[in-house]
Each structure stands twice: as structure tokens, then as C-alpha cells.
A and B are shown apart, each in its own frame.
Chain A
Amino acid sequence: MTRQLSTLTASTLFAATLFSLSLTLPLAAQADAIKQTKGSFEDKFRQLDETLPTNNSYRTASGQPGHAYWQQQVDYTIEATLDEANRRLIASQTVSYANNSPDTLKYLWLQLDQNVFKRNSLSELSDDFGGTGRRGPAVQAGDADTPARLSLGELRRQQYMDDTELGYEIHAVETASGNALPYTIVGTLMRIDLDRPLNPGSDTRFRIDFSFNIVEEDAISARSGYEHFPDDERPGGNDIFLMAQWFPRLAAYTDYEGWTNKEFLGRGEFTLEFGDYEVAITVPDDHIVSSTGTLENPRQVLTATQIQRLEEAENAARPVYIVTPEEALENEREGTDGSKTWRFKADNVRDFSWASSRKFIWDAKGYQQPGADVPLVMAMSFFPKEGDPLWSEYSTEAVIHTLQVYSRFSFDYPYPVAQSVNGPVGGMEYPMITFNGPRTELQDDGSRTYSLAEKRFLISVVIHEIGHIYFPMTVNSDERQWTWMDEGINSFLEAVASREWDPDMPWGVEPSDIVGYMVSSDQQPIMTQSDSVTRLGPNAYGKPATALDILRETIMGRELFDFAFREYSTRWRFKRPTPADFFRTMEDASGVDLDWFWRGWFYSTDHVDISLDSIYQMRLDTKDPDIDYPRRRQEQADKPESLASARNREQGIPIWVEQNPDVRDFYDDNDQFTVTNKERNAYDSFLDGLEDWERTVFERAVAEDKKYYVLEFSNIGGLVMPLILQLNYADGSSEDMYVPAEIWRRSPQNVRKLVVSDKDLLSVVLDPRWETADANIENNHYPRRIIPSRVEAYKAAQGSSLIGRDIMQDIKTERKSANTEDETEQ
């Protein structure tokens, strides 16, 4: 219900905005730019430029690459051999390093990521036993009452590391002319001291020979490694090899951080340079290799049939098997002594990864993008029988769907292949190739089935990992520092693409889902370096994805958001953006000041909880005493009768004036609302005193006699957000109203909004569609509505779910009914 306040005259209507502000004492007298030591004001809209790095000739204040933008170019030629029996990789690489920076470099830093598995790595040495955020098997530290615990997984990991020499063995580091270069290994990093300083605009070449034992993924918890299948018919079983972080990669040298030689601790991922690759991979000759790049020697490694099938696949309506399930099954039964060398070439990629196994089924389907730099993309999947029939059905199709949606939001897919490979890694991304984990269940009858949840998992993980080929493989953000820049942006687009696959599946990124994390006391701002985040999932994936979803759907609108986001994507395609470049571009291209949004969502741990506290109704006085005074009289009459008077009447207590009707005077016939000419004259002189335009405005306002409602809001959660209102009127109609977040700019704790209407307002709902991640729904209703808790709601209507029965398996259920003649009925 709206609350009736005393009516206001025209002149005080405008004064109504001057209600005294409620005063709250500052909790701590600590001065900063946003909150001062005096008063309670918080500058939620303080501009970000003093927080963001100063713009320069490499990165502009508008968020685009500057006129002097540069990045290094690092080309690799690699000869690698997979020693399947010993699960070792032996390789030699020649690196060509072009110094496009304005600086002279005396040394180069490389990333030796395999060294993270060494016993003496910083990651291992700094492992907080039982601490938080560690990748890998679990341990429990114990205390006086609880015994310390090591999981079997951790013991397996420890034993594996005892038994297997892990990390790189560096055999040679030499100049192109064969002279040894001095090098120093610092954990997962290696510094190579050049024989002469590398001047700006110059390049240098050097060679590294190396080898390492491939980790067993299930034992070590890595982003790559081998998975063993002991039950295959081939004696000794088979392996799938997923090779990533497998060669010494140049650390990035950047304008904003210099050498990005922050040690790999296992969490914050990679900061890499673009370059061209030529890689020769020698594997057993019955293996199928999936790799970054295009295959340069198909006639030497594929059969004529396989080459013909690949051609068919280019224009196929559905994926075509290059290696059929039957052929793969045949293949994995036998072994070989021979080997083959697969040659791949990849241009302008920031990394290179590959997979190899004799178990692989392989399918492909062409994706045409007319007018693009790469008009034909081969979408391909590689998977063992353990992934089928799920993978045959959906993997390659999901790859293509991802390309269609992501290209619309950013740019044409820039590479000739896009691949999804099934192995031991749950989900991981590299240029042109991704590793995805979903599997199927072997049933007793020998068939393989999967649940609806596993199907959803496959489709969404493929979308997610293929999406990473755009972010960060092409828009080359710094994963070591800012996980959200690739994971948050990509989770946002993954949700968009998933909804476009099937809106009926609950794919996530509903703003209300992130509330539990955002109200918790266990969190850091999104703008926190990856290795320091305690809950990486909601911090770097869920919250930024939700923030972008809200920007698109609620704050900016799809048109402005999509234009700005595409601008960011194309500006930084094949370049290296920082968070500031993203924040600046989104504003620069949309014309929307979002500094308050970046501050609230990315730099703070505030949450959204806006309360609609009250609504006051007002009515414009006409100043005409013949109208206003009767209104006052009616208001008086509408008030409830005094309780004491009513009881007096009920008890028959005699009333003096009733018992003495003969004693009357003027005031018995003229109440306090009686109008005299004195008021009429005042009204006339008021009208006379108005300017013409004032009279016009006044008369119209009186004639319209609209209702004025003041809605009062308070900001409980700290984050400022738009006020999205649903106004419900007495006549049954309702109206939506959007009040931009800027309403909070000078009063971040409390604001009021005036609503003028012809109709009687019955109720108001704030954020009726739950689009702002508002933590408390109950205080979004005025008048207050009892919102049942989940427990109450559940008890009121017992929920049940039919989705995701494994109907594929259940359909085989024998009918037990005695009425066999009814079998044909549904």
C-alpha cells in the first residue's frame, strides 16, 4: 500500500526533494579517494583513471593499441619424438626471436613449465600442506585432535614423483652457429644470456635440445600428460598422450611488465608470444596425431581413404569419420615397431599443443565462413571408444556451433582447424586444439550410454574450451596475472552460446546464482592476481561472467554492449590486452561511463542488496480554496474515528453538545474548512502574481491532477546498480521503469525517486526478473511481501525432477506387467 502523507502545496512539492539525509557515522576514519574521513559520502562513481595504469604510446587512454604498440615475434622449428614405450619426449627446437621492443635485451627468459613437477620446484616447496587453492590431490593437515591425512591420490603423487624423474633435461643451448650459450635455470624459468645484446629491431636464433618424462595425468594433476588404458586388448594396454607445455616457451616481454617471469605455481596460467611454428612429430606409425596447425604431409601419414574422407567432410552436412570406430578398435588391438613423422605448420599462434594415440576415432566437418581470411575451417574431434557414442554425436557439432556464435561476438575464426580431443584432462585449451574429458558408461550388455548431465557436460565443455581459442589464444590476455580476462569473458560467451544451443537446458550464468559467493566473507576482488585467489571458480569464472551478462542485458543493452565488445575483440585480436584496455574500450565504444561498475564489480567485494524501503504519495494542491478546503475536510472525515469517542458512544456516555442542541453558534454550522472570501482573494492574487508561463504550467498541472509518489531506496550491499521497477496500478495495469545507477552518484546510501502517474499505485517490485544479483528479494517488494524461504517453499510444494533420466539405458527395461497384450500401448 502506498502511504498517504499530508498533501503538499505546489511550492513545497519541489521542496520535497530536500528531506534531511539520514546520517550514518563512518565506521573507520581511514581516508582514501573514495571515502573521506569527514562525512559518510562514498564516491562510488569516482573515475577510474587514477587507478588504471597511465596511458602511453603503447596503450591509449581510449583502450586501443597505441601508435607505438609492439610485441615480440617468436618462431619455432621443432623436431619431436614420442618414445611411447618409455613415455618420454625427446626434442630439438630452433627459436627465432625478433626484438620488436624499443629496449636492448641482454638475456632472454623462457618458461620451463615441466619443471613445476620437479621435487624442488617453487610450487612444491611453497606448498602449504593442507592449505587452500592447491591443484592436485588432497591432504588434511590435522591438529591436536585430528590426525593429519594424506589421500591415496596424494600418496600416489608422492610415489610417482619418487619413481619418475620429472621436469626438463636440457641437453644443449647453442647459438645458430653452434656455440654454447650460458643459461641459468630458476625453477620453471630459464635465463639464456645472449652472446651479444639484442638491439631493438634485431633478431637472434638459438637451439635447445631437451627431453622429459611425460607425466601420468591421473597421478600428477596437470594440464597434459598420458592416460593409460590397461584393459585394451593390446598386450600392455594403450595410452592417450596429450602434449602441452611440452617445449621451452619464450616468456613474454611486454610494455607493461617487462619480462613476465613470474614463476609458474600451477594456478595462474600462461603469458605467451605469438609466432610461427613448424613442428615435426615422430610417433608410432599406427598413432593418429591431432595438433595445432595444418598437416603438411598428409600423403605420408594418412591413407588415401582418409584423405578422401577429409575432402568429403569439407562440405558434409554432418561429421564424417576419417577413422571410424571400427577402424580405431582394430587399431588399438595391435601394436607396431615402425614410426611416422607428422609435419604441422601453424602461423601466428601463441602456443602449440598436440595429442597422439592409436585409440583415436576421428571425425571432421567443414565450417564455411565466406569472406573470412580463412574461408574453410575443419572442425574435428579425436576420441577413444570410451567417449562414444556421445562424442560422435555432439563434439564436432559443438565445435562448429561455438565458431558460429563466438565469431558473431568477436571476429571470424582465424585458424584453419578447430579440434576437440578426448583424454584425461577435464578441459583445457590451446590454439586450434582443446582437451575435453567427458566419457560414457560401459553397460553390462557391452553398449555405452550416457546421462543427460554428461551430454550437457560435453557440449558445454567443448563450447568453453573451443571458445578459449578466441580468448585468450587470439585476444592474447595475460593469464598468469588476470585469470578473469580469459575465463570470465569466455564463461560469459560460453553461456551465450549454450543458450543458443538449447535454451531449455540450465546452462548457468543466472545473476542469482552468484549471490551466495558475493555475500560470503571468503572472497577477493576479481582484480586479484590468480595465484592469490582463494576460490578461483566463482572469482574468476562465475562473477565476471555474471558481471558481463548484467552489463549486456541490463546496464548497457545488447546493442551497445555487443558493439563495444566486438570493438575490444577486434582491437586486441592477435595483440595483448590488459584489464585497463578492456575497461577503457567498453566505455570508449559505447559512450557509457562504466567506471562505477568496474569499481564495484571488479575492484571491490561489495554485493548487491538494494531495499525499497517506503513509498509516499503526494497530491498537488490547487491553491483554489473551494477545491482544497473540501479535500481537507474529506481527509479529516476519512480518518478513523477516535477510539475513545467510539467507546463513549458504545457505552452511551452522554455528550454535552448532543444533550444541549438549543445552544448553538456560528461555529456549529461552519467548520474549520469553511472557505471565506479572504481565501478566495488570496487565491486570485496568487493567480494574478504568476507570470503567464507559470500560470499555464500551474493550470495544466491542476487540471491533470496527477499522483506523485516518492519511492525511497537504501543501498545495503554496497554495490550501486540501476533501479529496475515494476509499478503495479490499482486498475490492474503495470509499467516497467528503469532508473540508471547514476541516481546513486551523490547519495550512495539512500536515494528517492519521484514517480508521477495518472493512476493509483498499488505496489512496486524492484528487480522483478532477478537480473541484478540482488541478494535479498524480500526487501525488493513494497508493500513488503512474505517471500517463503527455500525450505518453506519446498515444504509447500514438494519438488521433483524428471530431467536427465538415462532413458537410453532405461528404454531397454523389460516390461514386467502381466498384461502382455497391452505391450504395444504407450
Chain B
Amino acid sequence: MKTARTVFLLLATAFFFFGPVHAHQQKLAITRLVFNERSGSLEVMHRFYLHDAEHAVRQLFDTTADILATEETRVRFGHYVSELFQLRDESGQIIALDFVGQEIEGNHIWVYQEHSPLENWQALSVRHGALREIWPEQTNMVNIEYKAGIRTLTFFESIDELSLTLRAPDGHQTPE
């Protein structure tokens, strides 16, 4: 069966931590996707728990990689996340994202990307595989902040790609 072979190739090095959820390795990342009218760019801001990232880089790069200690590891992590995040427009065209950088703030590490200028996209397809290839139980939430509303795409378990049409959602958000 084709699927089983994929598994072994993709996940042969995976090592899983399990255990009750606690405040540290949450395996939950939240991404903000913001249409910044002021700067005219589409901004992508990924927030990972530092403790998740710390364990992840040891599996992704090498066992001595230390995201807190070395800028090089942080940059590698930033590029890694950027490569596994993908946006396509309604025609399936990839929306190229420029890598901006990454930084540690509190117990999180942020990774930034952007696309400039803003275009009149009708729909977006999103892929966010960061850390999900090493810990498939990793959950990545993407909050699309479009107009005055926020809609969330959640990547967990079997979900690789999600799409949404761009229009202000119904709800109690105040229209602008």
C-alpha cells in the first residue's frame, strides 16, 4: 500500500512526546494573517511556544541545535516554518511570501513573512505543515484577520490544506 511507505519515509525519525497537556510543550501554534492596509502588505505572523520549538529543532536539524542559544538555529527555524507555510489564491497561484525574520518574545518565538503589495484576492488556500511532519499531533491555528472579522483555519490530524473565500464574516464584529 502506497500510503504505508509514505509513512515510513516521512516519519522514520519521528519521536513522540505524549503525556497530559501542561503549560510547556503545548504543540499548538497560532498564526495571524493580517491584511495591513497601511503598509500595503499581507503579513503572516507565526507564534510557536518556545518549548515546542526548542524540542523541534533538535529533531529537525541536529540533536545539539539550541534555538535559545544560537541565532543561526533561530534563523533556520524561521526559514523552516516559512517553507512549510503556503498560500495560494483562488486560481491556485502561489502567493509568494518574503521571509522577514523571527524573534523570541517571552515564552514564544515568532516567525514573520509578508507579501507586498496587497492584491484583490477572492479566496485563499492555506497549508501550514510546520512541526506537523515531526509531531503529527501538532495543531496549527491560523487566524485570518480580513476586514473586521476573524476566521480560523485549524490544521490538525488529517488536515493539510484549507480554503476560504475572502469576505467579511457575519457575526457581531462591527462592519467598517
Chain A residues with CB under 8 Å of chain B are 27, 130-132, 134-143, 146-153, 155, 217-218, 221-223, 269, 424-428, 437, 441, 451-454, 456-457, 460-461, 464-465, 487, 491, 494, 506-508, 510, 513, 516-517, 519-522, 534-538, 541-542, 606, 714, 716, 718, 786, 789-792, 794-795, 798-801, 803-806, 810
Asked if B157 contacts A141 (CB within 8 A), the reply is yes
Tell me, rounded to whole Å, the shortest Cβ–Cβ distance linking B7 to chain A: 5
Per the bound structure, the CA–CA distance linking A718 and B172 in Å amounts to 8
Contacts of A801 in B (CB 8 A): 68, 74, 103-104
Per the bound structure, the CA–CA distance linking A465 and B19 in Å amounts to 13
Per the bound structure, the CA–CA distance linking A792 and B114 in Å amounts to 10
Q: Which of B20, B30, B41, B151 has the most CB of A within 10 A?
A: B20
Known: A147-B2, A149-B136, A517-B141. 14 other contacts (CB 8 A): A131-B157, A138-B157, A151-B16, A153-B16, A510-B106, A513-B108, A535-B28, A536-B21, A606-B172, A794-B110, A800-B71, A801-B68, A801-B104, A806-B69
Asked if B20 contacts A151 (CB within 8 A), the reply is no
Contacts of A464 in B (CB 8 A): 22-23
Tell me, rounded to whole Å, the shortest Cβ–Cβ distance linking A331 to chain B: 26
Asked if A457 contacts B51 (CB within 8 A), the reply is yes
Asked if B143 contacts A137 (CB within 8 A), the reply is no
Asked if A151 contacts B136 (CB within 8 A), the reply is yes
Per the bound structure, the CA–CA distance linking A552 and B110 in Å amounts to 29
Contacts of B93 in A (CB 8 A): none
Contacts of A457 in B (CB 8 A): 24, 51
Closest B residue, CB atoms, query A155: B7
Per the bound structure, the CA–CA distance linking A98 and B168 in Å amounts to 60
Looking at chain A's contact residues, the main secondary structure is loop
Asked if A789 contacts B103 (CB within 8 A), the reply is no
Asked if A714 contacts B143 (CB within 8 A), the reply is no
Per the bound structure, the CA–CA distance linking A344 and B68 in Å amounts to 43
Asked if B30 contacts A516 (CB within 8 A), the reply is yes
Tell me, rounded to whole Å, the shortest Cβ–Cβ distance linking A244 to chain B: 11
Per the bound structure, the CA–CA distance linking A611 and B171 in Å amounts to 17
Per the bound structure, the CA–CA distance linking A424 and B68 in Å amounts to 25
- Give which listed residue, A151, A441, A516, contacts B141 with CB less than 8 A: A516
Tell me, rounded to whole Å, the shortest Cβ–Cβ distance linking A531 to chain B: 14
Contacts of B170 in A (CB 8 A): 27
Question: Which positions 29-64 of chain B face chain A at CB distance < 8 Å?
Answer: 30, 32, 34, 36, 38-39, 41, 43, 45, 47, 50-51, 54, 63-64
Asked if A223 contacts B19 (CB within 8 A), the reply is yes
Per the bound structure, the CA–CA distance linking A441 and B152 in Å amounts to 38
Cβ-closest 7 pairs across A and B: A804-B68, A138-B136, A426-B19, A799-B103, A130-B158, A221-B18, A141-B158
Contacts of B26 in A (CB 8 A): 537
Contacts of A142 in B (CB 8 A): 3, 158
Per the bound structure, the CA–CA distance linking A798 and B75 in Å amounts to 12
Closest B residue, CB atoms, query A429: B20
The proximity string for B residues 106-141 relative to A, scoring 1 for CB distances below 8 Å and 0 otherwise, is: 111010101000000000000000000001110101
Tell me, rounded to whole Å, the shortest Cβ–Cβ distance linking B67 to chain A: 8
Contacts of A150 in B (CB 8 A): 3-4, 7
Contacts of A508 in B (CB 8 A): 23, 106-107
Per the bound structure, the CA–CA distance linking A152 and B11 in Å amounts to 6
Closest B residue, CB atoms, query A483: B21
**Interface residue? B86 (CB, 8 A):** no
Contacts of B110 in A (CB 8 A): 790, 794
Asked if A517 contacts B21 (CB within 8 A), the reply is no
Closest B residue, CB atoms, query A800: B71
Asked if A428 contacts B38 (CB within 8 A), the reply is no
Per the bound structure, the CA–CA distance linking A78 and B114 in Å amounts to 62
Per the bound structure, the CA–CA distance linking A143 and B161 in Å amounts to 11
Per the bound structure, the CA–CA distance linking A131 and B158 in Å amounts to 7
Contacts of A269 in B (CB 8 A): 20
Asked if B16 contacts A427 (CB within 8 A), the reply is no
Asked if A453 contacts B4 (CB within 8 A), the reply is no
Closest A residue, CB atoms, query B20: A428
Asked if A522 contacts B141 (CB within 8 A), the reply is yes
Asked if A138 contacts B135 (CB within 8 A), the reply is yes
Question: Which positions 137-155 of chain B face chain A at CB distance < 8 Å?
Answer: 137, 139, 141, 143, 148, 150-152, 154
Asked if A520 contacts B39 (CB within 8 A), the reply is no
Asked if B22 contacts A426 (CB within 8 A), the reply is yes
Contacts of A221 in B (CB 8 A): 16, 18-19
Asked if A541 contacts B141 (CB within 8 A), the reply is no
Asked if A426 contacts B25 (CB within 8 A), the reply is yes
Closest B residue, CB atoms, query A545: B23
**Interface residue? B89 (CB, 8 A):** no
Q: Given the known inter-chain contacts A151-B14, A803-B68, please indicate yes or no for A453 contacting B158, CB distance below 8 A.
A: no
Closest A residue, CB atoms, query B113: A791
Closest A residue, CB atoms, query B106: A506
Q: 16 interchain pairs (CB within 8 A)? A: A27-B171, A134-B157, A138-B136, A138-B137, A146-B160, A147-B2, A149-B10, A150-B4, A151-B14, A451-B69, A507-B107, A534-B154, A535-B28, A535-B139, A541-B23, A789-B39
Per the bound structure, the CA–CA distance linking A718 and B43 in Å amounts to 26
Per the bound structure, the CA–CA distance linking A794 and B21 in Å amounts to 31
- Give which listed residue, B34, B69, B156, B172, contacts A804 with CB less than 8 A: B69
Contacts of A131 in B (CB 8 A): 157
Tell me, rounded to whole Å, the shortest Cβ–Cβ distance linking A535 to chain B: 7
Asked if A516 contacts B101 (CB within 8 A), the reply is no
Tell me, rounded to whole Å, the shortest Cβ–Cβ distance linking B63 to chain A: 8
Asked if B54 contacts A786 (CB within 8 A), the reply is no
Per the bound structure, the CA–CA distance linking A132 and B104 in Å amounts to 29
Asked if A794 contacts B100 (CB within 8 A), the reply is yes
Per the bound structure, the CA–CA distance linking A633 and B36 in Å amounts to 45
